Amino acid sequence: MDKNELELINKYTNRPFSEDELFTFSITLCDNEIDRDNERFSDTALEKLSRLFVGVTGITDHDPRADNQTARIYECRTESPDGQYTVDGRKYMRLRAKAYIPRSKCSDEVIMQIESGIKKEVSVGCAVAKKICSVCGSDFSSCNHIAGHVYSGKKCSVILDEPTDAYEWSFVAVPAQKAAGVSKFYRKENKMDIEKKLLQGGEQTFSADEMKALSDKLSELTEKAADGEAYRTRLLTDIRKLSAVALPELKSDTLSFITSNMNADKLEELHKALSAKASEIMPVVPQLAHVKTETKYDNSYYNNI
Ligand SMILES: [Zn+2]
């Protein structure tokens, strides 16, 4: 560690720390490679993030309690290693940071994990003001292109631009960004992104728009579930009636037990079999013969006899 670095670190401490009291290490925060979500930071976004991340504390997991905030970034810069290019042929650029941890009994373990390479991959939390479509260059939320789809031989990706805040970074167990072994998460707006975020798991932050979208989705699913439940109830009612004709020895509680764990497909199958059996036994049900119902399940029992 040179004198400059020690000075930079001591800007954040309440008393001057000596080199012996500090452990420093380098990390790659993020880069301009297209990640598996088909998103990438713009080079200018990385430049701006290099300023925003200075002074930001890092946590060892996604639990943002003070006692987990073990490391602080004191230096951050972009770098482009010679001869490295992104998958789509741009000059590769990454955001490298230097961070320090005060040496203490409490930090022994995390220092050991960093030195041994167990803690290596980093996830960053930042907010971006702009998301640009790589195909048409306009605001990604307003164009019709879909990230990951290919248009005239060009794969659409979302360019994350104009970062407004860098609020945290943390070590993670599983990297999401393929090339650098680095993952990222940040505030996103549209529905597709919410699904991605939910799939990623861990601790996530949702904006007001995203909360609204989630609430709408929940209402839609609740409605669908209610329809499904009504359909199941109709099927079960029919099955009980048909069973009374086709299998009179079968007690109703036994039937309930059998059907309780059946899904709609199995219930439909049972309904069909009981219908066939019942129509053999009791081939005429004149009052229902003309009824054409709109139900989704097989009602041949009523219509064909
Ligand atoms: Zn577009």
Output the tens digit of pLDDT for each of the chain's 305 residues: 888 999 999 999 999 999 999 999 999 999 999 987 889 999 999 999 999 999 998 876 555 555 666 899 999 999 999 999 998 899 999 999 999 999 988 888 888 888 888 787 888 888 899 999 999 999 988 888 888 888 999 899 999 999 999 988 888 765 444 443 333 444 433 445 666 667 766 677 777 777 877 888 888 888 878 888 888 888 898 898 889 888 999 998 999 999 988 888 899 999 999 988 888 887 654 444 444 333 344 333 333 33
Contacts of 229 (CB under 8 A, 6+ apart): none
Give the DSSP letter string of 73-84: EEEEEEE--TT-
Specify the amino acid at residue 151. Answer: Y
Domain interval for residue 123:
3-188
Residue 281 lies in a domain: yes
If asked whether residues 239 and 172 sit together in one domain, one would say no
If asked whether residues 274 and 160 sit together in one domain, one would say no
If asked whether residues 227 and 184 sit together in one domain, one would say no
Contacts of 284 (CB under 8 A, 6+ apart): 305
Ligand 1 centre distance from Cα of residue 262 (Å): 46
Ligand 1 centre distance from Cα of residue 231 (Å): 42
Ligand 1 centre distance from Cα of residue 147 (Å): 9
Ligand 1 centre distance from Cα of residue 140 (Å): 6
The CA radius of gyration of the chain, in Å to the nearest whole number, is 30
Ligand 1 centre distance from Cα of residue 187 (Å): 20
Residues facing 31 on adjacent strands: 94
Ligand 1 centre distance from Cα of residue 138 (Å): 6
If asked whether residues 135 and 29 sit together in one domain, one would say yes
**DSSP helix/strand/coil, 158:** strand
Contacts of 95 (CB under 8 A, 6+ apart): 28, 29, 30, 31, 46, 49, 50, 53, 76, 77, 78
Ligand 1 centre distance from Cα of residue 196 (Å): 19
Ligand 1 centre distance from Cα of residue 210 (Å): 21
If asked whether residues 98 and 157 sit together in one domain, one would say yes
The pTM of the full predicted model, rounded to 2 decimals, is: 0.57
294 vs 187: CA distance, rounded Å: 45
Q: How far is CA 155 from the centre of its chain?
A: 21
86 vs 162: CA distance, rounded Å: 20
Q: Which residues surround ligand 1, an ion (CB under 5 A)?
A: 133, 135-136, 143, 145
Look at the chain and report how many structural domains it folds into: 2
Q: For position 62, what pLDDT does the model report?
A: 53
Q: For position 147, what pLDDT does the model report?
A: 86
If asked whether residues 70 and 105 sit together in one domain, one would say yes
Tokens of residue 26, six digits: 């380098």
Of 149, 146, 177, nearest in space to 34 by CA: 177
Of 285, 303, 284, nearest in space to 293 by CA: 303
Residue 208 lies in a domain: no
Residue 210 lies in a domain: no
Residue 290 lies in a domain: yes
If asked whether residues 65 and 106 sit together in one domain, one would say yes
Ligand 1 centre distance from Cα of residue 146 (Å): 8
Ligand 1 centre distance from Cα of residue 12 (Å): 43
Ligand 1 centre distance from Cα of residue 141 (Å): 9
Ligand 1 centre distance from Cα of residue 246 (Å): 61
Of 94, 54, 59, nearest in space to 75 by CA: 54
Ligand 1 centre distance from Cα of residue 252 (Å): 60
Of 296, 168, 174, nearest in space to 228 by CA: 296
Ligand 1 centre distance from Cα of residue 38 (Å): 13
Residue 209 lies in a domain: no
Ligand 1 centre distance from Cα of residue 209 (Å): 21
If asked whether residues 180 and 57 sit together in one domain, one would say yes
Ligand 1 centre distance from Cα of residue 151 (Å): 10
Give the start-end residues of each E strand in the chain. 22-31, 39-41, 57-59, 71-79, 94-102, 122-133, 150-151, 154-155, 158-171, 183-186
If asked whether residues 15 and 160 sit together in one domain, one would say yes
Residues 262, 268, 269, 272, CA torsion sign: positive
If asked whether residues 165 and 92 sit together in one domain, one would say yes
222 vs 233: CA distance, rounded Å: 16
Residue 74 lies in a domain: yes
Ligand 1 centre distance from Cα of residue 52 (Å): 28
Residue 196 lies in a domain: no
If asked whether residues 98 and 236 sit together in one domain, one would say no
Ligand 1 centre distance from Cα of residue 195 (Å): 20
If asked whether residues 182 and 220 sit together in one domain, one would say no
Residue 199 lies in a domain: no
Residues facing 75 on adjacent strands: 98
Tokens of residue 245, six digits: 């004709």
Ligand 1 centre distance from Cα of residue 49 (Å): 25
